[in-house]
Structure formats: structure tokens, C-alpha cells
Amino acid sequence: MTSHYEDMGSSRNGADDQSSYEEANLLYYFWLPAGKDEFGFEAQDRAPLAGAVSYKEFKEETIARHFRQQSRLLAQNHDSVGGMKTFGLLEPQDAELGLRKLHFPFTYHPSAAILDGVIPPYPIQGTTIILSNGLYLWSFRIKYSKNASDESVRAALVCFIKQDFVENCISRLFDLDCMPEPKRLKDDYKGILNYYQLDLLFNGLFDTEAHPYNFFDHQHVHPYTIRNVIYSASLYGFKQQYQPLWDLRGDYSQRGAMAAAKPMADTDMDLWRQHLRDATSSEQEQRELLLSRLSFSAMEQFIRVMIPFGLANYKAGLDHCRHDLIGDALLLRRNQASSDFLRPSLQANLLASDIEAYFLLLSAKMPAIVFFKDLMEDMIEVTHPLHLPPENREEWEKRQGWEEWRESRATLSEAEDQLSRQVDAIRSDLEAIQIFLAMAQSAAILTELGEARKLNEIEVEDPRRSVTLASRDWEQLTYWLTFVAVVLAAFQAYSGIGVWVMDFLLRNDLSSGHVPWWSIVIAVALWIPIALGLFLFYLRRRSRREQAMGKDDAKLAPPVRQVPNIFDCPFPRENMHGQQIEDLASQIRDEGLIDIATRRAGLELASVATFREAIPGAGERVKYSIESYPGDKSIAYTLHLEVDRQLHESSDRSEQLRNVRLVVRMPAGEYVSIDNIRWILQTYASRMIHASPQSDTARQYFQDRFGWSAT
């Protein structure tokens, strides 16, 4: 590979006037999440355990293997990638600093219009180094005019990187124009980043869905894109100067903390040789110092970009949730408003469901964030040079590049500490919110128990549940009273006979008994017609028992004890663009409910009940229960509507539909089509959600949300 570069350089030397140009290395580099295990190793396909990971798809391959396969696909039709033609093997190999790397030369054809005459319009030779610690480095051997000023040369080089190399080559390699949406990253992404890197970037650090302005206020925010991430992390180095290209965080060059004879690492060293086994110890040390120095500045740039534009947004959303929970807790327990300052950019009032959802979302992202923090600590540790650092001030001054390296390590340590503080703050906020949510859940359970007790009391007082006696019960009572009367009559008759017999035995005179014989005969005869009437009554009751029992059961059974069928249609929180709940209830009062059997409005209402629950800091929850009389086929039902209403400081108010439920009561032998039930649910829900409830959009909404739509 070195011979190839020398051949290319010698072919140009004859054409160029060497006396009018100078040469120097131009470095373009940035850092992205990586790691030795995720980077891969040489001949990984032939490893004994390679079959254990054969299930992985193309984008789940290691960084090195995915780069090799994807770069070949990108270059197969044009023999280059955006003007960059590579040479040699693209296999991972052992690298400096004890790492692994991809190292290969290339030739790049720049645009003559962008070089501005400062750089000759010839192909530029260079080399690419991708380290397993996450450093992506492109080194160009640049020739520039001796007569040009340093400012014009630097401006031309920056313009070349921004408008030429990045837009043509890097844009294709990383597929910068692809939006980081789940479906597009899976199917349409053609860049060299693998799933491991995309997951950390867009599922962990830069997630638009977790942006508080988007999550709570449902406002559009500028999406995180691959282009923006690469732009923000990009730096360039030229003549011992290291600066960002787009996100100007500061100058990462050495700022002269200590005086030294040769403080700077040599940026013009030979980077084309892949192996330094035969090089001197000084050459090896300088290569390691430069790569470590570049890695530190690139890591620092990435951290300083990621914190304000990534983690800080998560922290802002958690702070917003925590402040809202504090305010609710104080209002509930002390009737006292919170004095915490709120962010003016975010809405002050939140629903409990929003807070719980955001808590769950950030809790799911916390493992990825902690993993990234630990990854940064490990990558910083393994990026130290293998050569022993100087031990005293004299060695620091004599050994070239170490003073600059120490300063870059110190500034990176400060950024690393800032990252640790931010992650610890997010973890503390999640723990605090978890405590608040547990307290709120306990309060909700107590409230539900209180509501259940109230409902039981109301149910007991319901006049429909009073006990009444039916005709069948009266007949049974009459039967038993008559039976008792017959027994008493028989007892009276036989007691009279006993008295008469006793007098006859004592006086031996039948005519002298105190009880006349005819009275005994009448007493005995009394129960004969009664017994005959009871017998006839028994026969009659037996013949009418089935019919009487059916009628009486129908009279006794309350409406709620008919065969109940519940159809529940929950909406987590759906913004209402149609009728408000009061307007819909008023319309139902005027028109009546829709008959389930016929789908025609006009079903007479039995009752309309309302329930309003004040939610501290979030407005109120409004519930309507509209009950109908039995309609066609003796089918009655109750329509339950539930809406959350948020009150703002202005006169505007927003409503979110939470639930639409039908409790249908029908005779045991009746049947109602489920399509009619769905049609009624869709009709009433669409009137509140959509401005045009009968449109195709409303039907498509139910098809997408629930998998069905009624026509």
C-alpha cells in the first residue's frame, strides 16, 4: 500500500513545479460510539463459534464487517465512493494503543472550483484509519501554494472538506440524507453505521420522541438527523491546529499551559504505513500520541454536543414532570401552591398519564444512557498511549507532544465529569418521580375504595332494589293461613267433643252435657268445605304455577339484571376536534339515543347523569352516563362518555377523549349484531374526535387504531 502511494506521488512530481508548492497533512476526523467487541476482528467469519451469531441480519454485523460489505456495495457501480477510490484489504487488524483498526489508502478527486487556486486540481492521496475506540480519521496529503497566506490556505481547506469531501464522499458513506425513523433506518438506510451505533445514537442519546416540547405539547421539533450528528462531531487538523467544522465549541489546539521546546505532536507524520514494527521507538510514540490526541479532542467534541442537544432535553422533561408532581402533592395535602419556577417554554399543566408515560420512556432509555457513560470511560482509558508518560518536568519539556496530550486529557476529563453529573441527575429525577408516582397510586387506590363505598350506598338506596311481594307469594301466604285456621277449627271441634264425652262419663247422662251435640256437628262440618276449597285451590295453582312464576320473575327482575353486555372502547388521550361533550349530550337529549336494533335515532331517554372530577393542575375529568328505555326488541343500553379537560390561562380549553362505553341490556333470547354496536361506538366517538364524523378519515382512524371500522 505504501508503494502504491509513492507511485502515485512520483507520477505527479514530474508534472508539478515542486518549488512553488508545500506539502502538509490535512486531517478530517470525528468520534462515534464503538468498542473492540462491536468493532470485530480479522477472519471473524471463520471463528469456531461464528454460527452462534448467524441469525443476525446485515445491519447487525460488526462495525468492520458492515463497513467492508457496505462500502463495496456503494462502490460497485462507480469504482469509487463519492470520488474516493480505496486500495488494499478492508480487514480489521491490530492497531496502535492496543486497539483494532481499518487502515487503507485512497485517492480522492476534488472539485477544481472549490480549491480556489490555492491547491492544485489534481487527485489527492490519503489514508483512512478507523479505530475500535470510535475514531474515524481521513488524512490527506495536501499541496498548497507557497505564496498563499495561512488564512487563505486554511479557508480553502475548510471549504474543500465541507463542500466537497463531506458532501460527496462522507454523505454517501454514512447516508446523511436518511432520516432516522425506525422503518427507514431498517429498510432504507444504506450507510456504514451498524445497528449498535444507530441504537445508541437515536434510541438512547438523540431521540425526538423523548423531546419534552414534542412529547408534552405535541409541537414539531427539529428532528435529529445523521447529517446533523456527523456535522456536530466533525473536526479538522492542520499544522498542529484542531478546530470544529460546524459546531464551533472551541479550539482544541494546545493553549500553552506549560512552556516546552517542542510541545506539539507532529501532524505531518507518515500515516500511510499500516505497521510500525520496524520503526523506531520515537516514531511509534509520536504515532500513538497523535492518535490518542485526536481521539481525545473528538470524544470531547461529541460529549459537549451530546449533552446540551441530547441529555439536557431529557433532563428538562423530567424536571417539568417533577415540578408538576410537587405542585399536585402540595395542593392535595396542604391546599398550597408550589413556588417552584417552571420553564416558560413548556406547558405548566400535565396529566398524570403523560407523566407516567414519560417516566416509562426515560426509564427504558436509562440503560442505554448509562451504557454510553461507561463506554466513554472505558474508551478514554484504552486510548492512553502504551509508552510510559514522562515522570518529571524535565522529561515533559524534552519529549515532544506529551504536554499537548496532557492538556487534551485534562479538558476531556472535565467533559467526562459533566457527562457523569448529567447522567446522575437524570437517574435522581427518575427515582424522585417514581416515589411521587407510587404515592399517587396509593392515593388513587384509596380514592377508588371510597368511590366503591359510595356506589354501594347509592345502590342500597335505589328504589328499584326494594323487595315487593308478588301474587304467587300472596297465594302461598293465604294457603298457610288457611291451613292454620283449619287446624285451629279441628282442635276446637275435638276439644268440644272431649268436654261432652267427659260429662257423659261423670254423670252418665248424655242429655245433661254442657256442649250441645249440634254445636259439635257444626264445628266438625266447618273444616270440610275449607278442605275442599284448599284441594281445588291446589289443583288450580298447580296448573298455573309455570305461567305465574314466569310473569312474577319478569316483574321482579330489574333492568340491570337482564343479560348485560359491555362494549368498552378506550382512548388513552385523543384530542377532540369535533363536538364538546356537553354539546353532544344536549344533542342526544333532543334527538334521543340511537336504537341498536334499527340504527335510527329517537330512543327515549330514561336518565342523564354527570360526574365531574377535579384533577389538580390539569383541569377536570367529565363523565356522562345516558340511559335509555327499552327500544325495539326490548333492548336498552347506557352510553358512558369520559373526557379530560385542560384549562389554560386563556379562554381556550382543550379536551381529550378517554373512553366511550356501551352497557347493553337485552332479553336472554335476543341477539344484536356486533356491527351495530361498533357503528354506535364509532358514531358517538367520531362526533367528538373529528370535525367531519362521516368522512373516510374517521373510518380510517378506527381501522388504524382498533382494526375495525363500521359502515
The cell for 567 is 362494549
CA-wise closest residue to 236 among 352, 337, 144, 140? 140
- Predicted confidence (pLDDT) at residue 540 exceeds the cutoff of 80: no
Strand, helix or coil at 566?
strand
E-strand stretches of 246-402: none
Q: Which amino acid is at 238?
A: F
Distance, in Å, from the CA atom of 30 to the CA atom of 28, rounded to the nearest integer, reads: 7
**Are the C-beta atoms of residues 13 and 19 closer than 8 Å to each other?**
no
Strand, helix or coil at 616?
coil
Q: Helix crossing, 281-306 with 352-382: angle to 10°?
A: 170
Mean model confidence pLDDT for the chain: 77
Q: How many residues does the chain have?
A: 711
**Are the C-beta atoms of residues 8 and 107 closer than 8 Å to each other?**
yes
Distance, in Å, from the CA atom of 360 to the CA atom of 437, rounded to the nearest integer, reads: 11
pLDDT at 244: 92
> What would the pLDDT profile of 488-521 be if each residue is shown by its tens digit?
666 666 666 666 666 666 666 555 445 555 555 6
> What would the pLDDT profile of 281-308 be if each residue is shown by its tens digit?
778 888 888 899 899 999 999 999 999 9
The cell for 416 is 467526562
Give percent of the chain with pLDDT exceeding 90: 15
Please give the average per-residue pLDDT across 414-432, as a whole number. Answer: 92
Q: Which of 386-400, 459-473, 475-489, 512-526 has the lowest mean pLDDT?
A: 459-473
The cell for 98 is 492496543
The cell for 322 is 417533577
Task: Work out the angle at residue 152's Cα, subtended by the Cα atoms of residues 296 and 297, and round it to the nearest 5 degrees.
Answer: 5
Phi first, then psi: what are they for 278, rounded to 5°?
Answer: -95, 0
Largest CA distance in the chain: 173
- Top mean pLDDT of 80-84, 259-263, 362-366, 444-448 is at 362-366
pLDDT at 231: 93
- Predicted confidence (pLDDT) at residue 201 exceeds the cutoff of 60: yes
| Residue 597 DSSP symbol | T
Half-sphere exposure of 671 (CA within 13 A, CB side): 1
Q: Mention every residue, 6+ apart, whose C-beta is less than 8 A from residue 155.
A: 116
Please give the average per-residue pLDDT across 673-700, as a whole number. Answer: 84
Give the distance, in angstroms, between the CA of residue 93 and the centroid of all CA atoms in the same chain. Answer: 40
- Top mean pLDDT of 134-138, 238-242, 359-363, 470-474 is at 134-138
pLDDT at 340: 67
Burial of 480 per CB tally in 10 Å (0-12, 13-18, 19+)? exposed
Please give the average per-residue pLDDT across 418-445, as a whole number. Answer: 87
Question: Does residue 188 or residue 416 have the better pLDDT?
Answer: 416
pLDDT at 414: 92
Burial of 206 per CB tally in 10 Å (0-12, 13-18, 19+)? buried
Strand, helix or coil at 349?
coil
pLDDT at 463: 47
Please give the average per-residue pLDDT across 423-431, as a whole number. Answer: 91
186 confidence band (pLDDT: 50, 70, 90): low
> What would the pLDDT profile of 20-74 be if each residue is shown by its tens digit?
778 888 999 999 998 887 887 777 777 777 777 766 777 778 888 888 888 877 7
Distance, in Å, from the CA atom of 659 to the CA atom of 571, rounded to the nearest integer, reads: 5
- Classify strands 601-603 and 605-615 as parallel, antiparallel or unpaired: unpaired
Q: Which of 394-398, 582-586, 675-679 has the lowest mean pLDDT?
A: 394-398
Distance, in Å, from the CA atom of 211 to the CA atom of 343, rounded to the nearest integer, reads: 14
**Are the C-beta atoms of residues 678 and 703 closer than 8 Å to each other?**
no
Q: pTM score, two decimals?
A: 0.67
> What would the pLDDT profile of 337-394 be if each residue is shown by its tens digit?
666 666 666 665 677 778 888 888 899 999 999 999 999 999 999 888 887 776 666 6
Please give the average per-residue pLDDT across 104-133, as a whole number. Answer: 84
- Predicted confidence (pLDDT) at residue 7 exceeds the cutoff of 90: no
Give the distance, in angstroms, between the CA of residue 116 and the centroid of all CA atoms in the same chain. Answer: 50
pLDDT at 301: 93
204 confidence band (pLDDT: 50, 70, 90): confident
Sheet holding 636-647, edge to edge: 563-575, 653-666, 636-647, 619-628, 605-615
Identify any residues that bridge with 24 across adjacent strands, giving them in sequence order: 142
Q: Mention every residue, 6+ apart, whose C-beta is less than 8 A from residue 355.
A: 321, 324, 325, 433, 437
Distance, in Å, from the CA atom of 660 to the CA atom of 684, rounded to the nearest integer, reads: 8
Question: Does residue 333 or residue 552 have the better pLDDT?
Answer: 333
- Predicted confidence (pLDDT) at residue 141 exceeds the cutoff of 60: yes
pLDDT at 156: 87
> What would the pLDDT profile of 355-365 be if each residue is shown by its tens digit?
888 888 899 99
Please give the average per-residue pLDDT across 129-144, as a whole number. Answer: 91
Cell numbers 250441645: residue: 516
**Are the C-beta atoms of residues 353 and 574 closer than 8 Å to each other?**
no
Give the distance, in angstroms, between the CA of residue 94 and the centroid of all CA atoms in the same chain. Answer: 41
Q: Which amino acid is at 354?
A: D
Q: Helix crossing, 402-460 with 281-306: angle to 10°?
A: 30
The cell for 286 is 509520536
143 confidence band (pLDDT: 50, 70, 90): confident
Strand, helix or coil at 94?
strand
pLDDT at 472: 54
Please give the average per-residue pLDDT across 558-565, as a whole number. Answer: 58
Distances in Å between the alpha carbon of 184 and those of 40, 58, 173, 191, 323? Answer: 25, 15, 16, 12, 37
> What would the pLDDT profile of 563-582 be if each residue is shown by its tens digit?
677 888 888 667 888 888 88
Distance, in Å, from the CA atom of 27 to the CA atom of 235, rounded to the nearest integer, reads: 8
Identify any residues that bridge with 563 across adjacent strands, giving them in sequence order: 666
In DSSP notation, 158-190 reads HHHIIIIIIIIIIHHHHTTTS---HHHHHHT--
The torsion of the CA quartet 9, 11, 16, 18, rounded to 10 degrees, works out to 50
Distances in Å between the alpha carbon of 510 and those of 4, 138, 320, 496? Answer: 156, 145, 111, 14
Q: Mention every residue, 6+ apart, whose C-beta is less than 8 A from residue 312.
A: 422
Burial of 308 per CB tally in 10 Å (0-12, 13-18, 19+)? exposed
Distance, in Å, from the CA atom of 411 to the CA atom of 415, rounded to the nearest integer, reads: 7
